Amino acid sequence: MCGICGIFNLTLEPVAHRERIDAMSERIVHRGPDSHGKFELPHLALAIRRLSIIDLATGDQPLSNESGDVTLVFNGEIYNYRELREPLLARGHKFKTHSDGEVIAHLYEERGPDFVRELNGMFAIALWDERAKRLVLARDRAGEKPLYYWRSNNTLVFGSEIKALFEYPGLSRRIDREALAQYFFYGYFPAPRSVYAEIQKLPAAHTMIVERGEIRIDCYWRLQEYLRPPGGPRVSARVEAELVEELRARLREAAISRLVSDVPLGVFLSGGVDSSTLVATMSELTPGNVNTFSVAFPEKSFNEELYANLVARHFNTRHHVLPADEKNLREALDILAGHLDEPVADPAVIPTYLLSRFARSEIKVALSGEGSDELFGGYPTYLGARLAEYYLRLPRFVRRQFFDRLKRFLPVSSTAVPKGLFLRRFLTHAERDPAERHHIWFGMFNPAELDQLFSPEWCGPKPPSSVIFAPLAHVLEGTQFDEPVAEMLYLDFRMYLEDNLLVKIDRASMACSLELRTPFLDHRLVEFAAGLPASLRVRRFQLKYLLKKAVEKWLPHEIGYRQKRGFSVPIASWMKEGLRGYLDETLAEEKLKRDGLFNATFVRRLLEEHWSSRADHRKTLWTLLSFQLWYDRWGKSGS
């Protein structure tokens, strides 16, 4: 795992401020503290900060082919590099290292920019072709590794994190107003936007080809090509049994491929189905020799220690538990404010950081279960989509009466699974378009709240709610689904996973120089899951139906069929108690009025309602707090 950055002049004139490449690289040293490399031409500068995982002795970057006319830096891991290397050797290619990255240079010689189609891995790549005078940037299929860029006239600047780009002179720090409205709705910035108007993300599964003064961005892998077409045949019991066996084989294959390493590995273990499955596959290969790491919260409804310990004992792992309390949660919040150069509204970034820092004292690589929920149907909102099918069959006047009576009895709760909050959102928005409804259920501020959030001076004549659904239309273009749940799964993979979960785990783990690998995102497994009927992923009101069938013989029953909690923080109660003063100070009414972005009176009302337990505003307030911490650190000074 590494961090990369670069500066390029599109017309091949000497690049301005080329000397800034060293400062850019220094800003991302946490991503790769083991070595520093650089490649320079008059019109190009590439730099790499390396975290050594494979080929510790000779794998430093930049890497090149034998003639030196193809040179690259890359962040990530290529898991099938050995399989790719052998035929390349047979065709006469000469290798100088045993690293996974050198395969990229030789593969490019044969395939050109299409080389990315052969890679199984997570990566952000910058490759220079001297003969063609071509720069190629590429990101992996799911978007595990980040790549941001800025263009001004003939200058292109890019890097693994935004903070590296800001070392180059002349970048504007103007906030993108539409992107900000989308952040407060989704809790993240849908690609290709970032919080800054002039900085964009290269989307997942895309390449950027820069040659002859032009930039072309191409998609090399489309998940919609693997979706089950509407009206497909019903799956028989025999076919279902075959799919269970195939899923087991693909899970093993994905996990085994991600064990390639020359340094110690471990697993982030919550005690849920996903992480426990990874422990099971690792333990099959190295029984009694697996390191597992968990966080324990004092709050009962958030604490999964019982389940994690059960799995650790079952597989005889070397289990490590980090107790988490308000003191170290607050410490992590302060540290992350300096690392997150773009707001992240997912509170799970805090325990992810703490667990990464804790694990880094023992290992350099950890496996994590991200992607399973989006592929196999793990979120309660999918049950909401199922329930909506039945609810919408009732006459409208019956639905109205039902809602009016029930909402008076819905509790305000601080637990990890706030049923009252979910039910309120479900009943209020059940009649909307399924894609919009899903994101309102899942999201932060609903459209009506969003239009109250910003000050009139900031949002201007266009209401913020008018721009929030544009990313949905873009992602859904050209797609068809066999039922609404399939559409939700697709959207969560393309948006929530790419722009929230993977951003969260990348920033939190790389802040600690720890590499996180996600076996569920092996593209062969992703393609298999995309082709499954939604009814095999969410069977009536059972989440992860097929996955649980596949792993039930590997896991204790109480693990395989327990209720999902997710990896989160008790923020609802924390904001009422230990974090109340910090929240009050950060979102102080006079302070917000001076900043001029928000309707300070509306924000104060949210705080008062939450503190008095008249409402559960955990999501909206955490999204505000996360933004304001970023804004105080990065948005004002740009430091």
Residues 225-252: tens digit of each pLDDT = 999 988 878 899 999 999 999 999 999 9
Mean pLDDT value of segment 147-167: 97
Quote the pTM value: 0.94
- H or E stretch covering 50: strand 44-50
Give pLDDT, residue 638: 43
* CA-CA-CA-CA torsion sign (23, 26, 31, 35): positive
* Cβ count near 275 (within 10 Å): 26
Nearest partner of 577 among 521, 548, 618, 546, judged by Cα: 618
- The pLDDT value given to residue 639: 38
Q: Which position has the higher pLDDT, 554 or 58? A: 554
- Tell me if residue 22 falls in helix, strand or coil: helix
pLDDT at 124 over 70: yes
Catalytic residue annotation = 2
- How far apart (Å, rounded) are the C-alpha atoms in residues 424 and 430? 10
The rounded percent of the chain whose pLDDT value lies above 70 is: 93
Say what the pLDDT of residue 305 is.
Answer: 84
- Decide if pLDDT at 417 tops 60: no
pLDDT band at 326 (very low <50, low <70, confident <90, very high): confident
Q: What is the pLDDT of residue 412?
A: 54
Predicted confidence (pLDDT) per residue in 552-609, tens digit: 999 998 898 777 665 567 888 889 998 999 999 999 999 999 999 999 999 999 999 9
The candidate with the shortest Cα–Cα distance to 154, out of 306, 58, 33, 16, is 16
Mean local confidence (pLDDT), 170-197: 96
| pLDDT score of 324 | 87
Output the pLDDT for position 302: 62
Cα→Cα distances 129→17, 18, 126, 133, 481, Å: 22, 19, 10, 6, 41
Least reliable range by pLDDT among 17-31, 54-68, 338-352, 479-493 = 54-68
Q: Is the pLDDT of residue 323 over 60?
A: yes
Q: Which residue has the tokens 């108007």?
A: 197
Amino acid 53: pLDDT: 72
What does the DSSP assignment read for 292-344?
A: EEEEE-SSTTT--HHHHHHHHHHHT-EEEEEE--HHHHHHHHHHHHHH-SS--
In the predicted model, what is the mean pLDDT of residues 320-324? 93
Q: DSSP for 210-230, please give it.
A: EETTEEEEEE---GGGGSPPT
Mean pLDDT of 43-56: 83
Per-residue pLDDT at 163 exceeds 60: yes
How far from 294 is each of 124, 313, 557, CA to CA, in Å?
A: 29, 13, 20
The answer to whether residue 414 scores a pLDDT higher than 80 is no
Torsion of CA 515, 519, 525, 529, to 10 degrees: -100
CA-to-CA distance for 608 and 590, rounded, in angstroms? Answer: 16
Question: What mean pLDDT, rounded, does the chain reach?
Answer: 91
Look up residue 132 and give its amino acid. A
Residue 227 backbone dihedrals phi, psi, to 5 degrees = -70, 145
Measured distance CA(350)–CA(324) in Å, rounded: 10
Instruction: Write the DSSP symbol of residue 483.
Output: S
